Amino acid sequence: MKIKCVIVDDEPNAAKLLEDYINRVPFLELCGIFFDGEKALENMAYKTIDIIFLDINLPGLNGLELASMFSTKTKIIFTTAYTQYAVESYEKNAIDYLLKPISFNRFLSSIAKAKEYFGPQTFPNKVIQNEEQQDSFFIKTGYETVKINFKDLKYIEGSREYVFLHTTQGKEMCYKRMKELAERLPEYFVRLHHSFIVNINHISKIDATQVFIDGDRIPIGTTYKEIFGSIIKNRSI
């Protein structure tokens, strides 16, 4: 189950940075970016959002005022360039207070703290069971529809408007964007390059710049190196 996030920030560059960070973490899903509080309130009225990255200095209603208007089930991570709001922000039951400019390491630390609130017990058991039971999917390739088992899918290679699915049985091509497939994959699939998503269970070896899967070498992109490293570290003994 993914943690649904929203960004509320009137600085486009700051919002873009958070968007990039969120897209680098497999279990986060970005559901919207808003540049003022009123628009955020309007759009989130009938949606379930888990985390709001909320700037404090906003036009109209500021972030501290907005925080009181969201559901108590929605967790707040304040983002600001000013330190003087820290005490007041924690009075609003904020999970964390990120001081701009926000580094990726600091962002990950905040997400690790937030994830404690969203364990399996947070989500309906029925939903979790359904996801566990789904062990395959179908794709249209050419004139055929092919069944792919998740456990047999070694890695996905993206190329413009289509992707190659490398499986233990061979290679299939379908006209899908990487992002579309990434949203449907189990957690053991990790993006480690803008053109590659890999099944961790099929990795045989890792070095500083690439991973090895059945003789294939797949590069680790600079953008994804840190989060990929943290995922592998969590699986190491």
> Crossing angle for the helix pair 104-115 and 12-23, nearest 10 degrees?
60
State pLDDT tens for residues 54-94: 998 888 778 888 888 877 788 899 998 877 666 565 556 68
- Its pTM stands at 0.51
**Residue 230, pLDDT score:** 72
- Among 93-107, 159-173, 208-222, the least confident range: 93-107
Sheet containing 196-199: order of strands: 170-174, 162-167, 153-159, 196-199, 189-193
Domains 3-122 and 134-234 share a fold: no
Would you say residue 156 has pLDDT above 60?
A: yes
| φ, ψ dihedrals at 199, nearest 5° | -90, 110
Non-local (6+) Cβ contacts of 6 within 8 A are 30, 31, 32, 33, 34, 40, 44, 49, 51, 52, 53
Is the pLDDT confidence value at 140 over 80? yes
pLDDT the model gives residue 127: 35
Confidence (pLDDT) at 39: 85
Provide the pLDDT for residue 128: 35
**Which pLDDT belongs to residue 206?**
95
Q: Quick one: pLDDT at residue 126?
A: 35
Q: Is it the case that residue 123 has pLDDT exceeding 70?
A: no
| pLDDT of 85 | 62
Class level of CATH domain 3-122: alpha beta
Say what the pLDDT of residue 130 is: 39
Query: What average pLDDT does the segment 180-184 reach?
Result: 74
Mean pLDDT of 107-131: 60
pLDDT of residue 88: 63
Reduced DSSP (H G I as helix, E B as strand, rest coil) percent helix, strand, coil of the chain, to 5: 35, 30, 35
Mean pLDDT score across all residues of the chain: 82
Q: What is the mean pLDDT of residues 84-105?
A: 74
pLDDT at 207: 93
Q: Are the C-beta atoms of residues 52 and 76 closer than 8 Å to each other?
A: yes
* Domain locations along the chain: 3-122, 134-234
**pLDDT (average), residues 126-140:** 60
pLDDT for the residue 120: 46
CATH fold for the domain made of 134-234: OB fold (Dihydrolipoamide Acetyltransferase, E2P) (2.40.50)
